[in-house]
Chain A
Amino acid sequence: SQQGEEDPQALSIQEGENATMNCSYKTSINNLQWYRQNSGRGLVHLILIRSNEREKHSGRLRVTLDTSKKSSSLLITASRAADTASYFCATDGQGAQKLVFGQGTRLTINP
């Protein structure tokens, strides 16, 4: 079953603006990951944040994790047209190898 719920389901912004996507999950986790999927393609790993971390940065990406609220956010700063894609959060239960994906956010960056 799907563990993660993502918000919003779709987001459309102008190039150069920041995009924020949120993810909530239900059970305890070891870590939370964010992936990007371009239309009709496989997924690309973006960033992983461990359960004992609160914030992590990678280039224009900033991820936060609040384990007390069982939620995470992904911020993409200074968005570009190439950032247009679907973004998914994924969690793995403690001790489990498999990932459970959220519903995803479809991000559109308008030039």
Chain B
Amino acid sequence: GAVVSQHPSWVICKSGTSVKIECRSLDFQATTMFWYRQFPKQSLMLMATSNEGSKATYEQGVEKDKFLINHASLTLSTLTVTSAHPEDSSFYICSARDPRRGSYEQYFGPGTRLTVT
């Protein structure tokens, strides 16, 4: 149980275009999901907290107009990188907590590697 998937697993896009990444909780409903980015050999940096049915909460320094988050259902959150630039190339990972378990651990998706050319 508590499986989180991401799609796509990797994507290459041209500078200036937009790309959408999906995060799904497969066997549980997640009212809250989290989006992280990770640069090579570095730690995870929280970008935003995605709340079902309401606006996402962005971390300081993260441009909300550039990284659009939509959490339209209890099992799906999407991150859209708009007008992508090469510096947006990174590994994007989502996670969710399973409210049934009553614990603090988060379940992570396998990540999406974005390369902007």
Contact = CB atoms under 8 A, between A and B. Distances in A.
Interface of A: 2, 30-31, 33, 35, 40-45, 48, 88, 92, 97-104, 106
B110 A99 contact: no
A48 B95 CA distance: 16
Contacts of B109: 42
- Classify the interface of chain B: helix, strand, loop or mixed: strand
A63 B111 CA distance: 27
B113 interface: yes
A42 B106 contact: no
B67 interface: no
Given A41-B111, A42-B109, A42-B111, A106 B104 contact: no
Given A41-B110, A42-B111, A88-B44, A48 B103 contact: yes
B41 A106 contact: yes
A43 B93 contact: yes
B107 interface: yes
A35 B108 CA distance: 10
Contacts, number: 54
Interface string B87-113: 000010101010000011111111101
A43 B2 CA distance: 13
Closest 3 CB pairs of A and B: A42-B108, A43-B108, A42-B110
17 contacts: A2-B43, A2-B45, A30-B104, A33-B104, A40-B111, A40-B113, A41-B110, A41-B111, A42-B110, A43-B93, A43-B108, A44-B108, A97-B97, A98-B46, A99-B46, A101-B43, A101-B44
